Amino acid sequence: MKMLLEKDYKGVTLRVIHGDITDEETEAIVNAANSSLQHGGGVAGAIVKKGGKIIQEESDRIGYVPVGRAAYTTAGKLKAKYVIHTVGPVWGEGNEEEKLRSAIRSALEVAEELRVKSIALPAVSTGIFGYPKELGVKVIVDEVLRYIDNNPDTTIREIHFTNIDMLTAELFYKELINIHTQM
């Protein structure tokens, strides 16, 4: 795990992390899930492989999460307490930006319901779902900042943008380096 950037935004610490989200010590990590919550590949597969089959078993009990929404399970053997499974759009299905914004907002709302103080987010939809990385990162960062703006009393005090590939981590770095930090 390597921190590339730490920035304060209205009392919330934002960090860009190059590393494996399954190693994060935040209270919650976000899984870029599919609607059926079958965690076979990508971030989802890595989370179940490291966290254990309990994550898939709990996901099976949830069953289905529509695009743009999120649900949570425990985190099994991971360092986090919770895995928040959010379903972003597949590129080309239509209304992708709106759906990605909704997926990120829903993940943060679930974190708020769980009263977590720290959360790690990957670049939802930018892997096998095909959302262009640079565009996806811009939408994700903008939606996180909107959430902080609209929820000044949020329990979330720390948000990590955690990605295993350096290209995506650098895109988050570039997007966050110039954010306006004045209230």
CATH number, domain with residue 57: 3.40.220.10
pLDDT higher than 60, residue 130: yes
* β-bridge pairing 12-18 and 118-121: unpaired
Domain assignment of residue 85, yes or no: yes
| Alpha carbons 141 and 173: distance in angstroms, whole number | 10
Q: Is the pLDDT of residue 16 over 60?
A: yes
Share of the chain above pLDDT 70, in %: 98
Q: In this structure, are residues 154 and 109 in contact, taking their beta carbons and an 8 Å threshold?
A: no
Q: Show the domain range for 112.
A: 2-177
The beta-carbon contacts of 59-63 under 8 Å, at least 24 apart in sequence, are 59/33, 59/85, 62/37, 63/36, 63/37
Q: Is the pLDDT of residue 44 over 60?
A: yes
Say yes or no to pLDDT of 42 above 90.
Answer: no
Domain membership flag for residue 114: yes
Return mean pLDDT, the chain.
95
Q: Is the residue at 182 inside a domain? A: no
SS (H, E, C) 22-89: HHCCCCEEEEEECCCCCCCCHHHHHHHHHHCHHHHHHHHHHCCCCCCCEEEEECCCCCCCEEEEEECC
Number of domains in the chain: 1
The answer to whether residue 28 is domain-embedded is yes
The H or E element spanning position 147 is helix 133-150
pLDDT value, residue 180? 65
pLDDT of residue 183: 40
CA–CA distance, 76 with 74 (Å, rounded to integer): 6
Report yes or no on whether pTM surpasses 0.75: yes
165 in any annotated domain? yes
Residue 182 pLDDT more than 50? no
Nearest to 68 by CA among 2, 138, 20, 129: 129
